[in-house]
Every structure is written in C-alpha cells, then in structure tokens.
C-alpha cells in the first residue's frame, strides 16, 4: 500500500520513492510507488500533476487500492528503481485554495442560512456546491455567507487534518458523517497540540469552527485560501447551486470582470461606473427600434400581399417567391402569407436566405385544403422538414433550385 505523504504535509512537493509496480490505465503506462506526494483524484478534487524523474505525470488515480501515476510515455525506470517526484506547485496550491475555501463556504452556509452542502465540484475555472435550500433563500443570504466565509479566511485560523480515534470522532461536531476512513479537517480557534488529552483536548474542541470528514489536501491555516468570491447562484432541483472561486482565481476573475466592464464602457461610450444605466438606455432604445421595425415590416407585408393579390384574380391560389426587404426570410414569407389569407386568398410562398428555402402556406380559416399536410410534402421535396395547422404551416429545406416546382405542385 502506497504511503500518502501529501495528506500529512500538503506543502510537500518533492520526494524520493521506489517503483513497486508497473501497470496500464487505458492506453497509458502507470507506475505504483511505495510512497507518494501526488494526490489521486477523489472527493470532488482533481488529481495532481507533475513529473517522476523527468517523465510527465498526466493523471493520478486510485484503482483497487493502488495509487496509479499515469505517465506521458514509458516509465522512467523499472520496478525496484528509485525515482524523484515533483508535484506541480501552482496546481497543488490552486486545489488547496479551492477545496479548503469550499469547506469554509459550506460552514458559512450552515451557520448563516442553515443550508447543508450536498455535493462539491472543483472545475478548471470555478467551483460549485449544491445546497439543500431553495434558490430564493440562498440568494437572500449570499453576501452575508460570503462575508462570513471570508472572515474565517482573514482570521487565519489553524487547520488540523488527520485521522481521529473513534472516541475522538464521537466528540467532534461533524458537519457530515464520514463516508470512508476517520480523517477529518478541523478549523478551530487554536491549534491541536500533539498528544493533547483531557482538558486540553476539550478546550481545543470548544473552539472548533468547522469539522468535516475529508480526504483532500488542505492548508495549515485558513489564511492560505486568500479570499472567497461567490459568483452566482442558480436553481438546482429543489435546491440551489452556488458557483464560487477562491485564492488566485479571485484575482483572475476580478481582472477579467474589469476588462469586460472596460470593454462594455467603451462600446457604450460611457464611464465604467455608468455601464448599468447606459446598458438600460441602450436596451430600451433597442426595444423601441424593434417595435418600429415590426410595424414597418407589417405594413410592407400588407402592401406586398395587396400587390400579389391584384396580380392574380381570385379564387386562383397565389404561389410566389418573395424577397424580404429586411430581417428574416422565414418571418417575411409568413407575414405576407397571413396577410393574403386575411384577404380570403390561398397563399403558397417561398423565400430564400443563405441558400436555404423557407416556405409559408396559409388560407382563410374554415373548411379547406390541409396546409400542414401540403407543407410536409413540399418541405420533404426540398430535402427538409415542415408542418403546421390546417390553415397555416411553415417549413424549410436546402434545395433552393427546386423552389418554383415545389410551389407549383403544392398549389396544384
């Protein structure tokens, strides 16, 4: 069994070990060591990466009780040889910050909002926790929870992460029950002295802020998390999913948000502090312009319907290829077809946009031909799909060169 050095000392990044076995995981070689500081994926935390005597470690997985170090290429040596391990320091620090930040954030949600964490995911850019409280209750408490979690960071409290004896576990205020093993990560007002028992242990336990079973890598003190930023919350089943970032990721997120704000301010021709008001004005102006365009388009569709109706005496059906003056070809064909149907005419129209045909068939309401049925046949003849109600139907297809023949057949 591999000795897990990183659990006792998460700051350990280099070590010497012996290769005790060579395996394969998928199509890659993997080695088993007698001791390792590489953290294998588990508990929502991704695996460490790094090198073993120059060979790149791409992944670390625990399979059937063995810690497999998956390599980019052949093993650096045969079984029995000694190798030097080097863990990617930046990746380890990031994972420590995110994982311990999650513990503090989950503890804050318990304290402030009585919301329990059901699951945790450490992503490449941000992290998420899933809570058992509905979204409105979580959203109402977000900023207070964030402040509480950051207070735990800024107080730089000591962190104890180790296996506890059964009688000790029974006396810890665990946030959740252990799923495997007896390792617990404890944040308390004071450090736990080695060999502390009796009154000393009780005094330490009285200052516990959070105690959660966990097999991940954690810092010596909460200050190493740096900062915790709650980004957003969304509905997740009956509960809520909260997205957040910690440590170095907060700095990057702030820089990215600042750049986006600057870009928006430049596009809106305003100061960054005025982006909200400028965006609201632009949205209002855009909505007004869209309504004006819709009114103009409707008037043009009426005029086009009048022109088409005048060109072909009733009751003959109207079939035509129409060209939109602006906007969507599909919407234009539909508007003209409906305007013709309102005049008591049968309309079989088509419009082409970016090489694709958009069909619109319509007739007055009441007894008559089934436009939905005819549309399905017409769209299929164009290599596409369509359908609709007996009096109005739409469809499309890519074979634009067949448009006139398809319209003629539909009208016939």
Residues 255-302: pLDDT tens digits?
999 999 999 999 999 999 999 999 999 999 999 998 988 888 889 999
CA atoms within 13 A on the CB side of 142: 18
Output the pTM of the full model: 0.75
Q: Is residue 282 part of a domain?
A: no
Q: What is the dihedral of CA 277, 279, 285, 287, to 10 degrees?
A: -120
Shared domain check, 102 and 69: no
Shared domain check, 244 and 182: yes
Nearest 5°: the CA angle 279, 280, 284 is 115
Shared domain check, 103 and 235: yes
Shared domain check, 339 and 233: no
Shared domain check, 247 and 390: no
Bridge-based pairing state of the strands 55-63 and 66-71: antiparallel
CA distances from 2 to 33, 37, 63, 69 (A): 6, 10, 12, 11
Could you report the per-residue pLDDT of 77-126, keeping only the tens digit for each?
999 999 999 999 999 999 999 999 999 999 999 999 999 999 999 999 99
By residue range, what is the domain housing residue 39?
3-87
What is the arithmetic mean of pLDDT over 199-228? 93
3-state secondary structure of 56: strand
Q: What is the DSSP letter of 49?
A: -
Classify residue 328 by burial, with Cβ atoms within 10 Å: 0-12, 13-18, 19+. Answer: middle
Q: Is residue 159 part of a domain?
A: yes
Domain CATH code at residue 347: 3.10.310.40
CA distances from 152 to 111, 175, 210, 217 (A): 12, 16, 10, 18
Q: What is the dihedral of CA 55, 57, 58, 62, to 10 degrees?
A: 140
Of the candidates 391, 402, 394, 341, the one whose C-alpha atom is nearest the C-alpha of residue 367 is: 391
Of the candidates 214, 146, 138, 139, the one whose C-alpha atom is nearest the C-alpha of residue 183 is: 214
Q: Is residue 126 part of a domain?
A: yes
Q: How many domains does the chain have?
A: 3
Domain CATH code at residue 51: 2.40.30.130
What is the arithmetic mean of pLDDT over 345-366? 93
Bridge-based pairing state of the strands 35-36 and 3-4: parallel
Would you say residue 177 has pLDDT above 90?
Answer: no
Shared domain check, 166 and 39: no
Separation between Cα atoms, residue 363 and residue 68, nearest integer Å: 70
Q: Is residue 291 part of a domain?
A: no
Q: Is residue 220 part of a domain?
A: yes
């Amino acid at each position: 069994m591999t000795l897990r050095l990183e659990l006792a000392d998460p700051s350990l990044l280099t070590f010497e070990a012996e290769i005790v076995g060579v395996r394969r995981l998928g199509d890659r070689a993997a080695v088993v060591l007698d001791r390792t500081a590489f953290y294998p994926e588990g508990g929502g935390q991704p695996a460490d990466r790094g090198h073993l005597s120059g060979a790149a470690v791409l992944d670390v997985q625990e399979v059937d009780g063995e810690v497999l170090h998956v390599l980019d290429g052949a093993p650096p040596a045969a079984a029995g040889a000694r190798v030097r391990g080097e863990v990617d320091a930046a990746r380890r620090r990031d994972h420590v910050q995110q994982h311990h930040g999650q513990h503090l954030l989950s503890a804050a949600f318990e304290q402030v909002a009585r919301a329990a964490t059901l699951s945790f995911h450490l992503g490449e850019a941000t992290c998420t926790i899933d809570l058992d409280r509905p979204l409105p209750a979580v959203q109402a408490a977000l900023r207070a929870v964030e402040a509480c979690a950051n207070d735990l960071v800024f107080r730089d409290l000591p962190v104890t992460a180790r296996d506890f004896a059964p009688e000790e576990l029974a006396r810890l205020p665990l946030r959740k029950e252990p799923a495997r093993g007896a390792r617990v990560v404890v944040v308390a007002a004071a450090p736990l002295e080695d060999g502390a028992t009796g009154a000393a242990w009780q005094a330490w336990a009285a200052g516990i802020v959070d105690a959660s079973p966990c097999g991940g890598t954690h810092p010596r003190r909460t200050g190493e998390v740096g900062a915790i930023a709650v980004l957003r919350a969304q509905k997740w089943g009956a509960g809520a999913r909260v997205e957040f970032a910690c440590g170095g990721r907060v700095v990057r997120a702030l820089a990215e948000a600042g750049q986006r704000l600057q870009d928006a301010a430049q596009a809106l021709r305003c100061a960054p502090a005025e982006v909200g008001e400028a965006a609201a004005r632009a949205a209002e102006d855009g909505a007004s312009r869209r309504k004006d365009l819709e009114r103009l388009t409707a008037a043009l569709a009426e005029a086009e319907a009048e022109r088409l109706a005048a060109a072909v005496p009733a009751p003959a059906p109207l079939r035509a290829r129409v060209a939109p003056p602006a906007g969507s070809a599909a919407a234009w064909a539909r508007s003209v077809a409906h305007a013709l149907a309102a005049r008591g005419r049968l309309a079989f129209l088509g419009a082409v946009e970016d090489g694709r045909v958009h069909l619109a068939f319509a007739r007055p309401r009441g007894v008559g031909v089934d436009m939905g049925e005819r549309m399905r046949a017409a769209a299929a003849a164009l290599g596409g799909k369509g359908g609709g109600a007996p009096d109005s139907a739409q469809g499309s297809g890519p074979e634009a060169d067949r448009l006139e023949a398809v319209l003629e057949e539909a009208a016939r």
